[in-house]
Every structure is written in C-alpha cells, then in structure tokens.
A and B are shown apart, each in its own frame.
Chain A
C-alpha cells in the first residue's frame, strides 16, 4: 500500500528536521521525504496541511493491565487509547499478575500485542522472581522473549546484596536496569511530606524516600557498571543527585511522568483521589525543577506512566483510593503544554517523547522518520485545544487528574507500519 502524507510540517528530532516536507510510505517503510519518488502513485493521500507529522510517540511506561488486571483495562482498550494518543511504541512494567518474570508470559504478551496490530509493546521484565527481591530472573531468556530492560516496578529489593548481584548479572550482558527510587519504609505514606499533607492530615512521603534510594542505586550502578535508568523522578533533590552522578561520568538516564510536570501537592485540593499517584505530587519547587530539568535534558524523557484504575477504586477516601493516573491519550497534549510554556522549539519537545525515549529503551526501529525507517507516524494538530472528558477517553481507566482541563494537540492520524490505525476528528 502506498501512502502520501502531503503538506505537513515534518518534525523529526532524531534527524533534526523541522520543515515542510511530504512523507512517502510504501508498505511498512518510509521510502522518501520531500520530493515524490519516481513512479510513486499513492493509493491514499493524507492532507496534513496545518498539521505536524512526527514519529509515532514512544512511551516509557504504560500499564496495559494484562495479564491479571483485566477488570481495570485490557490490551484491546488500552491499544485503542495508545492509537488515539499517537503512541506507536510503548514499554510496559512487569507488575502484572502473574509478574512478567517467565519467558513464556512475555512471549504470550508480545504475541497478543502483535495480533492486535497496534502499538509495538516492549515489556520490561522483572529483575527478580515475583518482584520479591530474592532470586534474579532468567534475563537472557527474557530478552530473547522480547524484554528491553529489567525492573522492579514499585517494589523494593530490600536485600542490597541481591540488588548488587542482579545489576552485576545484567551488566554481564549489557542489559538495562530500570529502577524506581523509593525507599520502602519511607514510602509508606500517600502524599508528599510537606505543608499540604500536614494540613490535610495525610501520611507524608518525604523526599528522602527518593534520595536515599537513589544514593543506593547510583552507588551500585557505579560499582557494577550496569546501564541504569531511573524512572519517574519526583523531586528537585533527586534530580540534583542524578545530575551530579552524570557530571562525574556515570552512564545513567532518567524520566519523569507527564503529570509531575504540571501538578503539585497543592492540587490535591479537597482530598481529590485522582491526585493520588506514585510517586506523589511534590511541592511547587520540585515541579519547577522537573520542568526545567526536562527542558535542559538533565531528564531524558517524559512518559505517561499510564495506570488505568477502575472507577470504584478511586471513589474512596484519598489514602484508600488506588494510586495512579490514566494517561496514554494525554502524553502528547501534556508534553506540548509543557513545551509551549517553557518556550521550547517543537523539535526539543517532541524529542522527549520520541527519539530520547527510544534511546533509553535501546530500540533503533522506533522514534525517528528517516528514509528507510519503520512507518510509525503521528499526525496531529498542534493548535487545537480539547477538553479532557470521560466520554472522549478511550482507555478503560477514566482516572485522570486532568478531567475538565483543556489541553493542546489533537491527534488526527496514527500509522503503525504504514497502516492507518487511528483517525480522529
């Protein structure tokens, strides 16, 4: 099938392209950019006048809830959400039920995802069996089954020796380890430990929960030489630790969840359970540091941290409400809002959700649109604002703190391997 995307503004951060350039696709590859290639007759032409044409977004964390949590969401519903969000590649964390610690489970998940022909799913395998922090998993087999990295989701590895050995084993193969910095004992609260939690009588999670865990993880990364990626940074102090480690030459990357760029603890308001997320929304100063850190590149990428939750689980008092926010469809709008407010060129904004994210996952096929690249494309309208509402969300989880808010960026077309998988109004 031959596809011609005409009159669009091509923004491809990997190749530093931001120009009016047509895109020509044949079957699953991009065959030309700019001029129509000789002998090319399009079966379909998409008029992208006034729209941005960019690589399909790469999301570093989206919980698809399969296997095990189908009452919250299914692959079918969440893939629809990914398509509506312009996301064509995503990584899913290992905290499914059962945990993604067996090659067979990973194979089945990848198989199911491939059959849906939507976004490419890159599972993050469990670092230890059952995420229990005791026995390391069969990392070589898991990579062969499709894993791109290993992690513990939000579970701790209490035994430091186990953590060290797990990192050493991963480093043997050059495998990536993704860690969430959360000291298990200090993280027993549900809101940032500060003035707001004090007033509201919520159990606080101090910043030390992040910095102490980070010290531990960074120190072990230094001595084991493992490729470490820190997930969902939430504090200025945490970011500072990573910056210093990088300045000293440590190969470490980090990401931030999109909601942390926009919200802080004050937004909890009158105990709104939609703002109960892990890690918690911290202070305004932390938010500012994260916004600037992502702009400077101290934080490499932004992800959705998509965590769909059943309505009933959110309709409970704050501390008892299930934590997490749905976000596949909001990654692009939230990134655009941030980028616009920071006055960044669109190229830089989109890099954080395409090429930079792909680099962290270690995949070369996604996140760029050069000639010969896999035709995973997102075509969106950067000017139109749309209000976030339950009716328009395709994810089964409607639990977003941005309900009722107007955000920029409406996806018009999402292509996966040259096939148009989504067309929006």
Chain B
C-alpha cells in the first residue's frame, strides 16, 4: 500500500473541512476523487502536500509506511509526492529551468543520487519536453509568470514529468481548460502512468475521466468519502448529478 489515510480530520480557522477520510491507494493505481464544491477535495490534496494553512486534528496518513503528517512539505516532495496545483503560483524573477533543477536536485540529493549539472539537466528536460510535446520557450521564462491558464496547467504536468513522483495528486487540473488543452494535459498524464506511480485525480467534472480513466472513483461530500466504486461510478454521477448523493447519505448525517 503506497498511501493509507485513516480517519483524517482537518480544519481551517476552526472550521472543520475533512471529517474523517479513509482511503487506501496501492502502487500503480489511479484514483479519482470527485465531489461538489466545498466537499473538501482540494483541502485533502493540500493536506497531503503539507500546506500549513490546514490543521490536522485527528487521524493519520501513512505514505510508504512512513508518517506523512510528520514530514515537512519539501521532504514529502523529496520522498516522491507531487501536487499539481489548481492555481499554480506565479513566481516572478525565478527562472523555470533554475527552479526545476533546484527541485530535481533536492530530490536526488535526498535519495543519495548525484546532482545533475546544468548541461546534463538540460539534456534531461529536453527529452521530457519532447515527450509531452510542449513548447520549450517556457523553460526560460520565470515560473508561471504571465502564463495562460492552460500553460500553467501544462507546466504543472511538465514539472511532474521532470520530478517523476511516486504519488501524483492532480488538484482540479481540468478546471478552466478548453477541450484541446484538456486533451493535452490528459495525454501528458497518461504518458506518466506506470506500475511504479500512483495518481490521485481530484475533479469536479466527469469530463477529465473520459481521458484519464481511473481504476477507482471516490465521491467526497461534506468532508467524508460517501461512495467508492469503479470508473462507472463517475458516469453514474454525471448522469444523476451531485444531488443524488444526498439520498445516499444516511438521514442522520445530513446537514
């Protein structure tokens, strides 16, 4: 088991958002987490990546057998966790290539691998960029600065390809993308699917799951996973809408 979430509770400013999440993710599996706005999907993604805005009040998360919640965000990344942000941050003045090399080398150093020098790194990312059919001019630009919404999301996937995480969490990577951009992103993600890598796809819409077909689908509502199933669950949700969930939640737990 790569990731094991047990009874996870988290709040922001005293407002409880995650109210007991249980989830197990095996190596090589693709899990989709769906749910309406405010259900806690993005909070879960951010908590797993170590965002300190959220306070974990109860529960535990084991990653590769280790206590994930005890690790600093950078250590989680070095151990192979990658969060593709819903809103990637613009960082003026920091060159994309420099940033990526610093990130990659931090991970390599952590794993006892030799750090890549500027030349080797360039060779390495040129391959990745070809693989994802991306525009290489973005390499010399400051991180995300002035990027369009689509470019930002593609840059996230590119970073994922470069850092080769063991667990990738995609936080609403489809939001705001037109169908062409969505396909590009999905193609990128699919090319990164592997037996050695697990992926969590957080999304509001079923649309993305036509292109990234998950092994499992979980439905999050009001801070809990209320339903889990195979890929067909996504279609069912698409068909019936999130209001259908209310009927599946026991009456005594309805808000």
Chain A bound to chain B:
no
